[in-house]
Chain A
């Protein structure tokens, strides 16, 4: 069964304290792995798509990496505005629906 597991469920950081979020996945043929950010009361906002093991993508303080079994979202020197829930999702090779993890709720304190 296709499955996505994110850890930790919640992460509290001080401003400037770098860390990583983990996304482990099991999927019958990976088409792509997606990272989204979700603020309270809003829909998920697209961050990255990763296609193959070894791939990395960066955007401001965020860097996403992918292996054959997991993905990491590295946050370097986070700021309070980075506080949000970060969602990981996979799409099967045949396309269509995304299978989401439960998310990691990140809180960055000044």
Chain B
């Protein structure tokens, strides 16, 4: 079946511009996650959506970062006034949720370069 998809695969933007990154989770997965992977760094959690609950935004590095999930499916991560330190690969993941432990499935990522 279809996995997690992300678009665009690559994005080059100028410092100070806003960018939007899109994630389409696996159908039926109620949990959606955004992570960031910088060169030489591990995966860093950004934000987590589960169903209709308030999102866990504890990983967002600044108020320039925001995300929304519409209709419980597609999610958009927005970075305003981009800075060079925002350059990274942004990964989206989705999973089932319940009393059991479910693995997170990752998309291919969006490579963001801020010039």
Taking beta carbons and an 8 Å cutoff, which residues of A are in contact with B? 4, 31-32, 34, 36, 41-46, 49, 51, 87, 89, 91, 95-103
Contact A99 B106, beta carbon cutoff 8 Å: no
Residues in B with CB closer than 8 Å to A44 are 43, 91, 106
Contact A99 B45, beta carbon cutoff 8 Å: yes
Query: With A43-B106, A43-B107, A44-B43 known to touch, is A97 a contact of B56 (CB < 8 Å)?
Result: yes
In the complex, 17 of the A-B residue pairs with CB atoms within 8 angstroms, ordered by the A residue number, are A4-B42, A31-B101, A34-B104, A43-B4, A43-B93, A43-B106, A43-B107, A49-B101, A87-B43, A98-B33, A98-B43, A98-B45, A98-B104, A99-B45, A100-B35, A100-B43, A103-B42
Residues in B with CB closer than 8 Å to A101 are 42
Contact B103 A46, beta carbon cutoff 8 Å: yes
Size class of the B contact interface (CB-based, 8 Å): 20 to 34
- Say yes or no: is B41 at the interface (Cβ < 8 Å to chain A): yes
Residues in B with CB closer than 8 Å to A51 are 101
Residues in A with CB closer than 8 Å to B103 are 34, 46, 49
Residues in B with CB closer than 8 Å to A45 are 106
* Smallest CB separation, B3 vs chain A (Å): 9
Chain B positions 89-115 with a Cβ under 8 Å from a chain A Cβ? 91, 93, 97, 101, 103-109
Contact B106 A102, beta carbon cutoff 8 Å: no
Closest to B97 in A: A95
Closest to A98 in B: B104
Choose among B42, B59, B97, B108 the residue with the greatest number of A CB atoms under 10 Å from its CB: B42
